[in-house]
A and B are shown apart, each in its own frame.
Chain A
Amino acid sequence: MSNPLADMEKPDVIFCIGTNMTECHPVAATRLKRALAAGARMIVADPRRIRLAEIADLYLPIRVGSDVALLLAMAHVIEREGLVDQDFVAERTEGFAAFRDHVRAFTPEWAAAICGVPAADIEQAAIWYASAERGAIYYTLGITEHICGVDNVQSLSNLVLMTGHIGREGTGINPMRGQNNIQGAGDCGALPNNYPGFQPVDDPRNQEKFSKLWGREISAERGPTKVTALAGAGDRFRAFLIAGENTVVSDPDRAHCEHALRSLDHLVVIDIFPTETAMLADVVLPATSWAETDGVCTNTERRVQRLRAAVPPIGMAKPDWWIIAQLAKRLGFAGFDWTGPDQVFNELCSVSPIYAGLDWDRIDRGEYQWPVPSRDHPGTPILHEGSFPRGRGLFKQVTLRDPAEVVDADYPVWLTTGRRLESYHTRTQTGRAAGIDYLLPEEVLEVHPDDVAAWRLVDGEKARMSSPRGSVTIRIKATRRSPRGTVFCSFSFDDTPVNLLTGSGYDPITQTAELKVCPVRIEAI
């Protein structure tokens, strides 16, 4: 997030797109509700009539995968109505003239036909957001889990740059991170293109720095992404080390994924439960879990916080860092002689400029948000106050692309997937928490009541849902949360392996899977 969570109570116009925040980030959503109670206006764009849509001042029920069209048309309106922040554009951005010419073609009427929402509502949204004193954008995987995920984010950036809603309290462009330490995994350099602290691997200065630090030549070539690696498993890639992610259930195209992992020569999994993925491994190494582990995590607002062990580890479980260090030593590698998590974290701080001012003791109370470039620096709650990382903010000329697969006669319904309030990811944890079944005993497919009737389904009965990659049976739930022609379910339940169906495509730049759009067919059984 460019701005802190506390800022969510401060905008006068809130624009939420592709985020089911009341279910996926409930405590953050309470801040938005308080902003509304204090008089803020909220615009919500989402294919489903989620709770956030119900409390919005303006709800745009856009068709799945049509975000770019909506955002282009909003840019068009902002330009046409003379609502561009000219000073901001002149001082802080570049490429505006070309962008302005580019968006002139994309009228609200054009977008209305694609998104399925009235042109007047698109105009209203654009005018509210642009005329705000403090406008803030919030988004989640509904924006990124598309083949055009990068286009979606760049379209949002364009709106921010036109209006100057950035670098100030109560504004910004704010992705909400899904997993507790997904931000941290990136911070620590678990990325094919970056060393710790987002230092690019293909910058020769970084290559030299780390090769010297770690006493061996390190490739200056970006590594393959996970998606590429899984696609080449058993062929170009022969051995995997997977730490704590249930790839088989969470990733798209499950059948393919399971096959890929089976075809490896060697698979080592570190996890806390015998997950579907662990069961395919040659060696499974038991890690300590939350409440058993001392460590550090970074939240969605870049706040670096301490995790503390409250109980001893179960059985023979060991912390991940210990397991990896032991493995490294057995492979004859130097530099893995840590005796505690504090040493690991302090080493990270010493190699990462964004953590340079931090150490294990300084983060004790969680008051720092990175970057913290030096010991006398107070941290950076608000990013981009004076400038952007590249200097000036660049307008990008985004164009609309269709999803990888679109509905047709064989697969006439849009399936979109996500999370639910009560369950988390692949349920390895919430599925084992007493009482959760009381609220969420099994997965259901949310279908508009008119569609239930039209497709001759029965509310509460099971039906078969198929895509070109497979089919699952799932219980039907009639609800007006789903628009006509679009259905929703989560990917959390192993006995309803929805990711057998998904996986039609990937964003060409980030290789994020298009989990949000998948054409399907639904039949009564």
Chain B
Amino acid sequence: MSTTEGPTIELDGEVVAYEPGETLYQIATRARREVPTLCYDPRLEAFGGCRLCVVEVEGIRNPVASCTTQATPGMKVRSSTPALEGHRRTILELVASENRQIEVDPLSGHSSGEFAALARRYELRPGRFAGRKSGASRHDDDNPFILRDYDQCISCYRCVRVCAEREGDYAISVVNRGFATQISTEFGGLLKDSACTFCGQCVQTCPTGALADRKALRAVDLPEPIAKTRSVCTYCGVGCSVDIVTKGERVVGVQPAMDGPANLGALCIKGQFAFDFVQHDDRLKTPLVRRDGELVPASWDEALDRAAAGFRAVVDQHGPEALYAIASGRAPHEASYALQKLMRAGWGLNHIDNCSRA
């Protein structure tokens, strides 16, 4: 007997409560079952294409896809049986046989390791179905952001669906069926001639690395391990959450934070691909002071002394009313707070503004 108020199902013999409308996959995941998926992305409409997430439901003859099946009260569900596991392995082996390579570099994208992780979990015997490779790679698409290696495509359509459902751009679609299935732009051309905005969402949802982050992959040979640091995009006021991808002391890429409160995993071209200004050679690396008309490198002590002396001289001659400060809309709070405090606590003046009037 269930003690809960709401509807329940029986999952592997255990009574589990659920919210009406939930799918078997959602319930099973919440109950810590590791149901494998390939075509599933929690941000997208369930698609039911890969059939890896199948479960057995009492009274239904064939296994059902858990990601598309809504629970009904009292359903008796088994999430893992020898038959299901065998079925899942067969699917994975079939899919794997069409791909050139299973393991891909994790720099490829946020979800790029999903397929390889499943291959390891099911200890796939490579070569069992080894045959023709499906999908024609678009090596001619020389855009600097998105690698399109369709030899690696498993036709999960996550890229197509994220572009349509989340971005509303419909830049890519599925053409042909079966073995000839192909992900393509409207006229089969380059992404830059399509509706693509290079937001990189397709790259970040692709589970195989067929679509990959070309900029991040420039760092594939760096020996250090990959690390990720949660931060916020530096460009517009939407404030998308990102993971800054680093190797050692190098920023090598950016990945969206799937749980970012402002963006829910979305990014645009700037947040996704315009990160490499940070370690650009043009960065100011030392203080500079003007000497004989030229700006020349200086120590912090010298530069700060010069800066302070210049303000003091102006105050001595013209009073503090001759000073003015402009804060940046790009720098963090601490910069603006410190600057306004300098003007107010230091000179007693409200001679400060920011660049929003630009």
Residues of A near any B CB (own CB < 8 A): 5, 22, 24-28, 30, 33-34, 36-37, 55, 176-193, 195-196, 201, 210, 214-219, 221-227, 229, 236-245, 247, 250-251, 265-266, 268, 271-274, 278-279, 281-287, 289-293, 295-301, 303, 305-312, 314-321, 323-328, 330-331, 333-336, 338, 341, 344-345, 347-348, 366-367, 421-422, 424, 428-436, 438-439, 510-513, 515
- Specify which of A25, A284, A333, A347 is in contact with B346 (CB 8 Å cutoff): A333
Is B357 within 8 A of A284, CB to CB? no
- Specify which of B241, B322, B323 is in contact with A305 (CB 8 Å cutoff): B241
Q: Contacts A245-B358, A295-B334 hold; do A330 and B287 have CB atoms under 8 A apart? A: no
Q: What is the chain A residue whose CB lies nearest that of B235?
A: A424
B237 within 8 A of A: yes
Bound state CA distance, A320 and B341, in angstroms?
13
> What are the interface flags for B301-320 relative to A under an 8 Å C-beta threshold, 1 for contact and 0 otherwise?
00111111011111001100
Residues of A within 8 A of B339 (CB): 190, 241, 243, 320, 324
Is A513 within 8 A of B357, CB to CB? yes
Is A250 within 8 A of B300, CB to CB? no
Bound state CA distance, A513 and B355, in angstroms?
11
CB distance from A81 to the nearest CB of B (A): 32
Bound state CA distance, A192 and B358, in angstroms?
15
- Specify which of B246, B268, B277 is in contact with A26 (CB 8 Å cutoff): B268
CB distance from A419 to the nearest CB of B (A): 9
Bound state CA distance, A307 and B276, in angstroms?
17
Is A348 within 8 A of B344, CB to CB? no
Residues of B within 8 A of A184 (CB): 329, 332-333, 336
Residues of B near any A CB (own CB < 8 A): 143-145, 165-168, 192, 197-199, 214-215, 227, 229-241, 244, 246, 249-251, 260-263, 266-271, 273-280, 282-290, 295, 300, 303-308, 310-314, 317-318, 321-346, 348-358
Q: What is the chain A residue whose CB lies nearest that of B332?
A: A295
Residues of A within 8 A of B276 (CB): 432-434
Which 6 A/B pairs are nearest by Cβ-Cβ distance?
A: A315-B285, A299-B239, A295-B332, A33-B168, A435-B144, A177-B237
Q: Contacts A326-B304, A331-B312, A435-B144 hold; do A316 and B215 have CB atoms under 8 A apart? A: no
CB distance from B286 to the nearest CB of A (A): 5
CB distance from B357 to the nearest CB of A (A): 5
Q: What is the chain B residue whose CB lies nearest that of A507?
A: B357
Is B325 within 8 A of A180, CB to CB? no
CB distance from A416 to the nearest CB of B (A): 15
- Specify which of B303, B331, B333 is in contact with A298 (CB 8 Å cutoff): B333
Is A183 within 8 A of B355, CB to CB? no
Residues of B within 8 A of A222 (CB): 350
Is A266 within 8 A of B336, CB to CB? no
CB distance from B254 to the nearest CB of A (A): 9
Residues of B within 8 A of A225 (CB): 353, 357
10 A-B pairs with CB atoms under 8 Å apart are A26-B269, A178-B236, A181-B329, A238-B318, A243-B331, A247-B326, A283-B288, A315-B286, A430-B274, A436-B273
Q: Contacts A241-B325, A243-B325 hold; do A316 and B342 have CB atoms under 8 A apart? A: no
Is A320 within 8 A of B345, CB to CB? no
Bound state CA distance, A162 and B304, in angstroms?
55
Bound state CA distance, A273 and B331, in angstroms?
13
CB distance from A291 to the nearest CB of B (A): 5
Residues of A within 8 A of B260 (CB): 366
CB distance from A410 to the nearest CB of B (A): 27
Is A344 within 8 A of B338, CB to CB? yes
Residues of B within 8 A of A189 (CB): 336-337, 340, 344, 352
CB distance from A321 to the nearest CB of B (A): 4
Residues of B within 8 A of A312 (CB): 249
Q: A191-B352, A238-B314 are in contact. List 13 more A-B contacts (CB 8 A).
A: A26-B197, A180-B329, A182-B356, A223-B352, A240-B325, A273-B284, A285-B304, A295-B332, A295-B333, A320-B328, A320-B335, A324-B342, A331-B346
Bound state CA distance, A319 and B331, in angstroms?
9
Main secondary structure of the interface of B (DSSP, over half): mixed
Is A310 within 8 A of B306, CB to CB? no
Residues of B within 8 A of A510 (CB): 357
Is B348 within 8 A of A219, CB to CB? yes
Is B263 within 8 A of A219, CB to CB? no
Bound state CA distance, A430 and B339, in angstroms?
26
Residues of A within 8 A of B261 (CB): 303, 305, 366-367
- Specify which of A214, A242, A286 is in contact with B287 (CB 8 Å cutoff): A286
Bound state CA distance, A221 and B351, in angstroms?
10
Bound state CA distance, A301 and B238, in angstroms?
8
Q: What is the chain A residue whose CB lies nearest that of B144?
A: A435
Is A306 within 8 A of B284, CB to CB? no
Is A347 within 8 A of B337, CB to CB? yes
CB distance from A142 to the nearest CB of B (A): 14
Residues of A within 8 A of B249 (CB): 311-312
Is B168 within 8 A of A37, CB to CB? yes
Is A250 within 8 A of B287, CB to CB? no
- Specify which of A226, A296, A314, A513 is in contact with B326 (CB 8 Å cutoff): A226
Is B326 within 8 A of A243, CB to CB? yes
CB distance from A53 to the nearest CB of B (A): 15
Is B239 within 8 A of A305, CB to CB? yes
Residues of B within 8 A of A24 (CB): 236
Residues of B within 8 A of A244 (CB): 328, 330-331, 335
CB distance from B201 to the nearest CB of A (A): 9
Bound state CA distance, A116 and B124, in angstroms?
67
